[in-house]
Structure 1
């Protein structure tokens, strides 16, 4: 039997309402901070489309007030489950904006695990949104996705990921991090997300690198979800290089 839920998050960012709107209500904007690839047909009644790893979800735009409010809702599945997402934008003094996100709907039988995972995931994605509008204004990123199911428990996975970046001990924001990936330029940046044991992120001058662990109740999957802002990047080669790196990553 389905379980109704509502999840609310709020974040203040150093960007104006128009910039936030472009980031949350356009396909290229969403691709610059959220997972997968998104398309948005403008206007109430328009359609949205989200695709990742062969999974596709479509929804209908239920609210379209540029610079203020954007919402969309999926159709109920055979079991009655559906998702609705609403963003409320409020401008503040000195060019800041508060974004309030409300996700609601009906979850399936494993609703408690799914609800917890969504809450933690949104913490990472909203922090990535803040990093995007702060450090890459006026630019759009190319999303990169890779997956390794059954990678290992969180301690094993994060020891391997941190070690690959030259990090030892407790990972903290502000640390320098470097990784060399075959076929791609070296990554040299700073840890800007340290939400372990769930997520980890590194920011460079031309990318936001994001790593997410699904948790033991959701298959111990390690997920890569990066956003590349370099104009000369090759999406196909980048995707392949990260999938190969993820597959080869030694996790003890």
Structure 2
């Protein structure tokens, strides 16, 4: 049965309103799904939603509509704060058509991680374009212990915490030396000098353990990198 939902967040980001607006509209790809937008109301955005508000650097909103009243909408309200920071009020609203509680729980937890990644981007990589790679884990990553398996593959333990150093060898890609910037039972974030690596424990929401990384090195080979991480995930859950 279809039912409306709304997820609200307010975060303070270590960036100017102009930098935040650019990060969520310019296709630099440091936070969620990289995609270039043509400025102005009515233009097309990620997954072809319609831009319904374009007021740089204070407001940006998109809305996607489908049959039977279905819609999905994102709104960003940005205000300057003291010390060169910005407050972002974020609203994600729409309609879930199946298992409302599970979908809402998943979307709510994903939102917290997405906005954290936005904060990491504007603080460490503002203005830098990303090569975006994403890959799903194998069917063997759907079980309840899948995130524990992933932690082990990343060299993390039960006592690991955000701020810990991490080093991961990915054949065909290279060695990832960085710091854990996000760590919960459902999500892991690793930041290096030239990338944001993101892992999603969607096994908790009926899916697989997935990876979506933002590579800021100029000339990064998207297909080669994606294939390497796909192989790494497959081997981690072999």
- Bin the TM-score by the shorter chain: over 0.9
5 Å-filtered alignment, 1:168-207, equals 168-195=157-184, 197-207=185-195
Partner of 2:214: 227
Q: TM-score, normalised by structure 1?
A: 0.89
- Would you say how many aligned residue pairs link Structure 1 and Structure 2? 237
Q: Tell me which moved more, 38-47 or 97-106.
A: 38-47
**Does the Cα contact within 8 Å between 1:2 and 1:79 map onto a contact in 2?**
no
Correspondence 1:61 to 2:48? no
The residue matched to 1:114 in structure 2 has which SS? helix
Q: Which sections of structure 2, spanning at least 5 residues, go unmatched?
A: none
**Does the Cα contact within 8 Å between 1:85 and 1:102 map onto a contact in 2?**
yes
Correspondence 1:213 to 2:211? no
Q: Structure 2 vs 1, CA of residues 109 and 12 (structure 1 numbering), >3 Å: closer, same or farther?
A: same
Partner of 2:83: 94
- Structure 2 CA distance for aligned equivalents of residues 229 and 159 of structure 1: 28
Q: TM-score, normalised by structure 2?
A: 0.94
Q: Tell me which moved more, 94-103 or 104-113.
A: 104-113
Correspondence 1:20 to 2:20? yes
Correspondence 1:44 to 2:41? yes
Q: Which sections of structure 1, spanning at least 5 residues, go unmatched?
A: 51-56
**Does the Cα contact within 8 Å between 1:32 and 1:142 map onto a contact in 2?**
no
Q: Structure 2 vs 1, CA of residues 149 and 79 (structure 1 numbering), >3 Å: closer, same or farther?
A: farther
The residue matched to 1:7 in structure 2 has which SS? strand
Partner of 1:4: 4
Correspondence 1:249 to 2:236? yes
Runs of 4+ in 1 over 4 A off after TM superposition: none
Give the superposed CA RMSD.
1.6
